Structure formats: C-alpha cells, structure tokens
Amino acid sequence: MRPTRLLAAASSTFRRRRLYTAAAVSTVAPSSAAPPPQGAVQPLSTQFARPSPARGHGVADDLASSLRALLASSPTVQHAFHLLRSAALDTRLPPNELVDAVLSTVDPGSPAAVTLLSHVLTCLSRAASDCAAAAAAYSRMVTRGVVPDAKSRTDLLVTTALGASAADALTLFDEMRGKGCYADAKMYDVVIRACVRGGMHCDAVRLFDEMAGAGVKPDERVYAITISGLCKLRDADRALQVLGKMREAGFEPWELTYSSVVDVLVKVRRMDEALRLKDQMLLATGKKMDVVLATMLMHGYCLNGEVGKALDLFDEVVSDGVTPTNVTYGVLIKGCDAEGMTDETYKLCRQMIEQGLLPSTYEFNLVIKGLLRDKRWKDAIGLLKLVVDTGVPDVFTYGCLIHWLCKHQKLHEAVNLWDKMKEAGVKPSIVTYHSLLLGYCEKGRMDEALKLYSEMPDKGFPPNEVTYTTLMKGYIKKKAFDNAYALLNEMRQNGVSCGDYTYNILINGLYMVNRVCEVDEMLKRFLSEGFVPTTMTYNSIINGFVKAGMMGSAFGMYRQMRKKVKLLIYVRRDGIQPDIAAYNAFIDTFCKQGNMSRALHFLVLLLKDGLTPDVTVYNSFVTGYKNLKMMAEASKFYYSMIKQRVVADTEIYTTLIDGFSKVGNVAFALELYSEMMANHVIPDDKTFTALTHGLCRSGDIDGAKRLLDDMRRLDVSPNIVTYNMLINACVRDGKLQEAFQLHDEMLSSGVVPDDTTYDILPRTNNS
C-alpha cells in the first residue's frame, strides 16, 4: 500500500491557489449566476467553489488545479515532478483518478502527457510496496492512449517481477510488445532475469532468441543471464554457443559465467570440454583456479568414475594454497564412497573435521556405513566421538552403528552407544529399538529384551509384527517355544496382524526345538484361522525336514526325502512356484551327502523353472565338490558364477581357499585371498583358519604369522583353532619361544586355551 500522505510537497502551491480562488469566488454570485454556455471552459475558481466530494475526487480536483497552475506558470513540465511524486504517494488517490487528473491538464496526444505520466509511473513503481497500483495506472494510461517511455516501463517490469511473479512480468512484457511498445535491452534484461530467477528458463531463452528479430542487441548482462538459464536447463550446446556469441560481440564473459558453463559440461559428463573451457577461462581472467572451479572439476571426475584424478586435483589445488570447503570434501567423500574407497572417505572426513569443517549428516553417514561395510567399527565409533556434540550424527547414524554391532554379536558396545545416543538428545526410532531388541535376543538375554519391549509404547512406538517376531526368534533360540507361541496370542489381542513371516518363524521353531511331530497340527490350526500358505511357508517346511531328518540314518533320510519330494510335487501341482530356497534345500542336502548327480538333477529342474542360481546354490556345489576333493569341478562352478555376474561372498571364497589348501595348492589359495581383498570381500576367522592351515602344512610359518597382522587390521579375532595350528607349527619347527609368545597373546586376546593347546605345550617342556 502507498503511505497515506497529504500533498505536502505542494502545500504552498495549494495555499496560493486557495487564496487566488477565494478572491475569485467573492466576485461571483453563488446562487444567481447563470450557468456558462454549453461547451465553455469553467474557470478554476468554480472548481474550488464546489463542495469537496468524497475521498479521491476532491484530492484529484486539487491536484488538477495545482498542476494547471504550475504548467501555466512554467514553460517546462519538470517543475510539476515534485507535485506528481507526492500525489503518487497519496493513498487517497486511486491510480485511475491520478492518471485522469493529469490528463485533464494536458492533451493526451502531447509529449507533455508522456513525460508527466512516465514520471507518475516511475514514482508508483519505485514507491509502491505492491505492484498493483503501478500496474493499474499503466493500464489506465494505455487505455487513454498514452504510452509511457521505456525507462518507466522498465521500472514497472522490475516492480512486477519483484512484487508479483516472473510470470506476471512476462505477461506484462508481452502485452507491451503486443501493443507496439518498443522494448530495449534493459527491459529484456529485467524480464529474462526474472524468468531465470523464477525457474522459467525456457521463456528466458525464448526472449533472448527474439531479441535479434526485434533488432535489439543484447548487452553483457543479457548474455550472462541467458547462459545461466541454459546451464540450468543443462543445454550445454546452446550455452557454449551463446558464450561464443558473447565473446564475438566484444564482451568478455564474467568468471561466474564461465563457471556456469564448466559446471553444466561437468554434469552432462563432457569432461574434456570442461577442462578446455577451464583453461580458456583462466587465460582470459588471468586468475588461478579457485575452490569453486576446482570443486566442479572434482565432481566431474567423480561422475566419470575417475576418483583418482579428483583426489590428485584436490592435492594439487591444496598445495597451491586453495582452502577446501565443506562442498569440496562432500564431493570427494561421495565420489570415493561410490567406488568403495572406504579408507579415502575416512581420511577425508577426519581431515575436514580437523580443519574445523563439518560434513553434512548425509555425507557423515556414508562414511560410517563404508567403515561398517569393511568391519572397521572401532574407526566408525571413533569418528562419531569427534562430532558427537555438533549435531551432525542423527538417529540414522546411531541406528546404523547399533544395528551393525548387534548383528555382529557386539551387544556390549551397542548398549553403550544406545546410552550415548540418548545422552546426546537423539531420540531412538522404532528401527533402532528393533536393532537393540535383536541384539538382546541373539545373545539370549530375554529379560533385557522384554524390558526394552515394555518401554516402547511409552516412547510412542507400539510393537508391530517385527517386534513380536524378533522376540519369538529369541525365545526359539533359547528352546522356549511355548513363550514364543504365547506372543502370537498377544499380537492378536493388541490388533497386530500376523503375516507369513510370523507363521513361518513358528513353523521353523518347531524344527529347531525338535518338535517336528507338531508341525502338521500347527499348520492345520493356522489354516483354520485363514492362513494361506505361500512359497515361503512350503520352503520353511522343506528346510525344516532337511534340518530334522537328513543327517539321521539312511532309512530315516530316505523317509524324510520322500515326504519332501511329495510336498514339492504338491507345491508344483497347486501352481505355487518353488523358489531358489526350496530347490537349494535339496541341492544342499545332496551335496553334503556327496550325491552330486542328484544335486545336479535339481539344478536342471531349477533352470527349467526359469530361475537363476544364486550364491547359495553355487556355494552348495562348491562345498560338495570340495568335500570330495574334486577342486577342478569346484573351480568350474566358481568360474561359472563369475561369468553369470553372481558376486562371490566370504563363504564361497573360504570354501575354495580351504579346499585348495587341503590339496596342497596353497599358492592358488593365496591368490584367491588376494582376489577377495581386492573385491572388498572381508575374510572371517574361518578364512584365516583355512589359510593358516595351508601355510603351516607347507612349512611357511612366517607367512601364517603374517596373517595375524591382517586379522588385527580387519578386526577379525583369531579363534582357538588358528592359535593351536600356529603354536603346533612353531613347536614342530623348534621355535619354542614363539610358541609361548603365541600362547600369551592368545590369553591376552580373551581366547581360552583348550586341551589341544596344552597337549602341544607340555611336550615342549619335556623336550
């Protein structure tokens, strides 16, 4: 709204006019005077002799009278500008009446009308807090046949763009041109800039293209803002084209303009062109590469998978005195994480924290997840401690760590972190509750699990199916099946629906607690409650039969297999397609028995059903052939798996390493170990045990002991078998002191010696 003001600036003029008209009024008889002839112009005195009308009309009449007086007394219209500015600020005077008042004093077709109304439009545009008054005044001017000058129309466009929207400014501009109004470069600049700022990049480019047809030459501002719009559209070709035209027109692009084009080239992965333009920019500006440009190029390298080049550029610019920003580190952290370069992400994160910079929560979580992926949980927790009071770690940070610790049997550390999370004011999520609940259940600490479960509703997390099934698995693991089953009734009482997963856990639970005879009865009960068995259910039953009977007597195994085969036929007949897990139950059993022909038969069935073997199927065959010491056949399945782009896991590598070590091919076992490390597959204690066994058998005790260093680095704890093999090897080689050192190390690491250990060591004392 325009501020309410009297025409204060013209008060002296009004006083003069009132004195003048008062004198004139005294000479005119108010009641007996005859009306003027039709068409005659009434004297000014009659305007002031009339009663003051309501609101705007009286102000408009006063303005018109004063304006006439000023125009009559001066050969130029500039003397009226101060009066018009005051009138424009008076909220009692509507825009339409303001325009009409001015036009009542001059001929609408005269230059004076254009000059006066252009000034009015400029004053309204610059003074109004909203553009409605200026727009209304402009509309009235055009309706009355007056087109304001370009400068005032530019002011109106600026006000519309800022006070209304880019779309309104563009509509107004199109209307101006549609009525034949000339548009200069400044007007184009205002509207193009508004369009880019408002996200209307296509309209901005359209206006730029129209300038040539309108005979308007763009200035450097128009070129720059158009290039900016093209870059936001990711139209790298047009951006380069307009940049070239800008230089041809004699304008040297600004540094920001160059950077925008470099950025879009990076984003569309045209790195070579980005680097050439960077060189051109530095040559033209005579400056060194700054952190913004360097970060763009690092981002480009990372997008192309050339993270090494990004890190080299980082080192180069830092050595040149460029200070990295949060954005720089963030680009590199995300790039390194995408390539699985955990050590680099960790170093970058520590470096930026040491320099007083903080990563975003998203970037920090990437680093934490990478460290956990490589089992570097101690580094992850150490990194967390550096930023615990900064607000960077969130519930996902803590949740990720707690979940990993619980999953890897490190419950003590998980509980400590849970307490630290609450001390830091970070509220747990239901996922975090479930992670800790899983940790307690995996350790069999059901009292703590129930205590945690009981506090969940008070914290706003009513138990759901995941909560109950986690507790069920905990009870089943402790052989307390009745407690697990009781939770099923509690679920129903609390309105929690039971899904396939819940039913399958209970069915599997019966096998785990050796209550196989109750499976049929339980399944019938579930069916009567409306449960419809799925592939998962049948797979659970099939796997349960495997666990319950396949390792017994030959007769029992035959009977159980007949039951499973009948079940498999039943499943296929009812149109329920067995999945990989169902087939692998048979394959795994036959492979463990060494019956590879029967296992291959089920592999053929699997393929006929259109399924693709996964890593578990390949591992069953590799294990089966390894147990038969047929490592050539095991290798064939391994290479077939690689060819099918199935990623080998720790279990497969360990099986192969163990097999080749036992047949005396330790060199190939070490190659496999190197391969799994290169593929970021982390060995476990079984892998190291297999390698240690092979190296010790081949007499390479030093090589076996070096594996201990690898285990420490990867946070893998040596088991009792590994220590016993190393101690035994040292004893056989006469290195008694080293044998006892290993014994002491075993004790300090918390590994308790067994009878085998002491069977070895006393012989050394006797000798």
Label each residue of 578-589 as H, E or C.
Answer: CCHHHHHHHHHH
User: What is the pLDDT, as a whole number, of residue 559?
Assistant: 41
User: What is the pLDDT, as a whole number, of residue 272?
Assistant: 93
User: What is the pLDDT, as a whole number, of residue 539?
Assistant: 62
User: What is the pLDDT, as a whole number, of residue 11?
Assistant: 40
CA nearest to 601, candidates 587, 589, 612: 587
User: What is the pLDDT, as a whole number, of residue 25?
Assistant: 31
The mean-pLDDT minimum among 28-32, 96-100, 254-258 falls in 28-32
The mean-pLDDT minimum among 110-114, 403-407, 469-473 falls in 110-114
Tell me the pTM: 0.61
User: What is the pLDDT, as a whole number, of residue 293?
Assistant: 93
Give me the mean pLDDT over the 556-585 stretch: 56
Helix axes 430-442, 411-423, angle to 10 degrees: 150
| Cβ partners under 8 Å of residue 56, min gap 6 | 92, 93, 94, 97
User: What is the pLDDT, as a whole number, of residue 8?
Assistant: 38
Please tell me the distance from the alpha carbon of residue 653 to that of residue 683, in angstroms, as a whole number. Answer: 8
Amino acid identity of residue 357, one-letter, is: L
The mean-pLDDT minimum among 329-338, 370-379, 682-691 falls in 682-691
- Binning pLDDT at 50, 70 and 90, where does residue 551 land? very low
Grouping H, G, I as helix, E, B as strand and the rest as coil, residue 124 is helix
- Binning pLDDT at 50, 70 and 90, where does residue 588 land? confident
Which tens digits make up the pLDDT trace of 480-520?
999 999 998 888 888 887 777 788 888 878 877 878 667 77
Model confidence at 767: pLDDT above 60: no
User: What is the pLDDT, as a whole number, of residue 542?
Assistant: 63
- Binning pLDDT at 50, 70 and 90, where does residue 316 land? very high
Q: Are 159 and 127 in contact (CB under 8 A)?
A: no
| Cβ partners under 8 Å of residue 693, min gap 6 | 658, 661, 662, 725
The mean-pLDDT minimum among 195-204, 327-336, 442-451 falls in 195-204
Amino acid identity of residue 246, one-letter, is: M
- Output 524-533 pairs: Cβ under 8 A, ≥24 positions apart: 531/498, 531/503, 533/576
Which tens digits make up the pLDDT trace of 532-543?
565 566 666 666
Locate tokens 């099923």: which residue?
Answer: 488
Please tell me the distance from the alpha carbon of residue 689 to that of residue 695, in angstroms, as a whole number. Answer: 10
Model confidence at 256: pLDDT above 60: yes
Give me the mean pLDDT over the 185-198 stretch: 85
| Cβ partners under 8 Å of residue 168, min gap 6 | 131, 160, 161
Percent of the chain clearing pLDDT 70 (strictly above): 84
Please tell me the distance from the alpha carbon of residue 422 to that of residue 741, in angstroms, as a whole number. Answer: 43
The mean-pLDDT minimum among 1-10, 90-99, 582-591 falls in 1-10
Tokens read off for 242: 């307009």
User: What is the pLDDT, as a whole number, of residue 731?
Assistant: 80
Give me the mean pLDDT over the 257-275 stretch: 92
- Mean pLDDT over the full length of the chain: 81
Torsion over CA of 474, 477, 479 and 482, rounded to 10 degrees? 30
User: What is the pLDDT, as a whole number, of residue 647?
Assistant: 87
The alpha-helical segments, DSSP class H, found in 250-322 are 255-267, 271-285, 291-303, 307-319
Helix axes 220-232, 255-267, angle to 10 degrees: 20
Give me the mean pLDDT over the 252-281 stretch: 91
User: What is the pLDDT, as a whole number, of residue 143?
Assistant: 86
Please tell me the distance from the alpha carbon of residue 506 to that of residue 318, in angstroms, as a whole number. Answer: 60
Give me the mean pLDDT over the 347-370 stretch: 94
CA-to-CA separations, 757 to 407, 693, 762, in angstroms, rounded: 30, 15, 9
- Binning pLDDT at 50, 70 and 90, where does residue 764 land? very low
Model confidence at 192: pLDDT above 90: no
Tokens read off for 73: 């007394």
Model confidence at 334: pLDDT above 90: yes
Give me the mean pLDDT over the 333-349 stretch: 94
CA nearest to 234, candidates 270, 277, 281, 275: 270
User: What is the pLDDT, as a whole number, of residue 51?
Assistant: 35
Q: Are 141 and 113 in contact (CB under 8 A)?
A: no
Which tens digits make up the pLDDT trace of 669-693?
888 888 888 888 888 888 988 888 8
Which tens digits make up the pLDDT trace of 194-248?
888 888 888 888 888 888 888 888 888 888 989 988 988 889 999 999 999 999 9
**Burial of residue 354, with CB atoms counted within 10 A of its CB: 0-12 exposed, 13-18 middle, 19 or more buried:** exposed
Give me the mean pLDDT over the 16-38 stretch: 33
Which tens digits make up the pLDDT trace of 29-74?
333 333 444 444 333 223 323 333 344 467 888 888 888 888 777 7
How many helices (H) and strands (E) the chain has is answered by: 42, 0
- Binning pLDDT at 50, 70 and 90, where does residue 23 land? very low
Model confidence at 268: pLDDT above 70: yes
Model confidence at 668: pLDDT above 50: yes
Grouping H, G, I as helix, E, B as strand and the rest as coil, residue 332 is helix
End-to-end CA distance of the chain: 106
> When comparing pLDDT for 181 and 31, which is higher?
181
**Polymer length in residues for the chain:** 767
User: What is the pLDDT, as a whole number, of residue 544?
Assistant: 63
- Output 267-276 pairs: Cβ under 8 A, ≥24 positions apart: 267/234, 267/300, 267/303, 268/234, 268/236, 269/300, 269/303, 269/304, 270/236, 271/300, 271/301, 271/304, 271/306, 273/236, 273/240, 274/300
CA-to-CA separations, 716 to 328, 381, 411, 688, 700, in angstroms, rounded: 34, 17, 16, 9, 21
Please tell me the distance from the alpha carbon of residue 218 to that of residue 33, in angstroms, as a whole number. Answer: 64
Amino acid identity of residue 468, one-letter, is: Y
CA nearest to 419, candidates 436, 440, 442: 436
Q: Are 157 and 169 in contact (CB under 8 A)?
A: yes
Q: Identify which of 57-66, 428-437, 605-614 has the greatest average pLDDT.
A: 428-437
- The separation between CA 124 and the C-alpha centre of its own chain, rounded to angstroms, equals 46
Please tell me the distance from the alpha carbon of residue 394 to that of residue 206, in angstroms, as a whole number. Answer: 45
Rg of the chain over Cα atoms, rounded to whole angstroms, equals: 43
Grouping H, G, I as helix, E, B as strand and the rest as coil, residue 104 is coil
Percent of the chain clearing pLDDT 90 (strictly above): 29
Please tell me the distance from the alpha carbon of residue 12 to that of residue 686, in angstroms, as a whole number. Answer: 102
Locate tokens 């990295």: which residue?
Answer: 324
Q: What secondary structure does DSSP assign to 369-407, as a single string?
A: HHHHHTT-HHHHHHHHHHHTTTT---HHHHHHHHHHHHH
Please tell me the distance from the alpha carbon of residue 622 to that of residue 517, in angstroms, as a whole number. Answer: 33
**Residue 381: φ, ψ to 5°:** -70, -40
Q: Are 342 and 332 in contact (CB under 8 A)?
A: no
- Binning pLDDT at 50, 70 and 90, where does residue 595 land? confident
The mean-pLDDT minimum among 194-203, 438-447, 709-718, 747-756 falls in 747-756
- Binning pLDDT at 50, 70 and 90, where does residue 569 land? low
User: What is the pLDDT, as a whole number, of residue 146?
Assistant: 87
Torsion over CA of 763, 765, 766 and 767, rounded to 10 degrees? 90
Amino acid identity of residue 340, one-letter, is: G
